[in-house]
Amino acid sequence: MFPDGTGPAADPAGAHFERRIRSFQPRRSRVTTGQADVLRRLWADWGLDIDGQRVLDLPEMFGGLPVVLEIGFGMGEATAAMAEADPGTGILAVDVHTPGQGNLFRLAEQNGLSNIRVANGDAVILLREMLPSASLAGIRVYFPDPWPKKRHHKRRLIQPEFLDLAAARLKPGAVLHCATDWEPYAEQMLDVISAHPGFENTSPDGGYAPRPAFRPLTRFEGQGLDKGHAVHDLLFRRTGTDA
């Protein structure tokens, strides 16, 4: 769809890394003319492919701002709203959904947001290969695919191996913030993160946290609430303990 260097690559990591079970499925359909145009114009400055072949210089990329990694941003409305409300924080937003990438670029351009960069590809490769230790001020994972069928639970992102990577890349005191409207996944998240030595629950009772004011109510979340789904936020602080 995009010639080399003019937009997100279809398979940025290629065959450089081992085959493994992924928590996502690439979706590149229905890119509008406007989305394709903004991706071509802005990708070189605001986008990057997760190829695993270099370590990112986040201070240079974001002008010295503290950087939060957002994994999975859908169509980007919530990401853009958070970036606009907090211009003093950089957001490195990761997704594989090309229309969403284009829409986030459109929103950033429309609202004059300079604190967003979009990473295309596998967040695990980004964390493992391309980010320095203790380089992140936070990680946000909002409404990841719950993979509800039991045989697919191994595809869920929030697993001990992912938490090892997250802990290694977060600065002490930084927060891992997850949210889901799938009750069984919320329960698994709470159990798995609570058991990890690199994190401590910010909720005094050791359970779920109220939705913080900085996380906007998304369209997807609103649809879930209309269906009677309970939304759970989990906020865990990175301790100084080695993962």
CATH number at residue 222: 3.40.50.150
| CA–CA dist 106, 209 (Å, integer) | 32
Is 19 among the domain residues? no
- pLDDT, tens digit, 9 for 90 and up, residues 85-106: 999 999 999 999 999 999 999 9
Residue 220: its pLDDT value, please?
Answer: 76
| CA–CA dist 13, 11 (Å, integer) | 6
Number of compact structural domains in the chain: 1
232 token code pair: 């759970």
For the chain, give the longest Cα–Cα distance.
52
The residue among 201, 138, 124, 192 whose CA lies nearest residue 160 is 192
Residue 17: its pLDDT value, please?
Answer: 62
Q: Is pLDDT at 171 greater than 80 in this prediction?
A: yes
| CA–CA dist 218, 92 (Å, integer) | 19
| CA–CA dist 156, 186 (Å, integer) | 11
Instruction: Give Cα separations from 231 to 18, 40, 152, 217 (angstroms).
Output: 35, 36, 21, 10
| CA–CA dist 78, 72 (Å, integer) | 11
Is 18 among the domain residues? no
> 131 pLDDT band (50/70/90 cuts)?
very high
- pLDDT, tens digit, 9 for 90 and up, residues 33-43: 999 999 999 99
Is 15 among the domain residues? no
67 token code pair: 């950087």
Q: State the residue range of the domain holding 141.
A: 46-238
Report, as an integer, the average pLDDT of 68-78.
Answer: 96
* Enzyme catalytic residues: 145
Q: Is pLDDT at 243 greater than 50 in this prediction?
A: no
Residue 160: its pLDDT value, please?
Answer: 96
Is 17 among the domain residues? no
Is 32 among the domain residues? no
Collapsing DSSP states into helix, strand and coil, what is residue 49?
A: strand
Residue 223: its pLDDT value, please?
Answer: 83
Is 7 among the domain residues? no
For the beta carbon of residue 45, count every other beta carbon within 10 angstroms: 7
Q: Could you give the residue ranges of the DSSP H alpha helices within 32-122?
A: 33-46, 58-61, 77-85, 98-110
**Strand boundaries in 161-203, DSSP class E:** 170-180, 199-201
| CA–CA dist 58, 79 (Å, integer) | 18
Is 95 among the domain residues? yes
Is 11 among the domain residues? no
Q: Are 201 and 238 in contact (CB under 8 A)?
A: no
For the beta carbon of residue 129, count every other beta carbon within 10 angstroms: 18
- pLDDT, tens digit, 9 for 90 and up, residues 175-218: 999 999 999 999 999 999 999 999 999 999 999 999 999 999 88
Task: Give the chain's mean pLDDT.
Answer: 91
- pLDDT, tens digit, 9 for 90 and up, residues 229-238: 899 999 999 9
Q: Are 125 and 13 in contact (CB under 8 A)?
A: yes
| CA–CA dist 173, 239 (Å, integer) | 6
Q: Are 184 and 146 in contact (CB under 8 A)?
A: yes
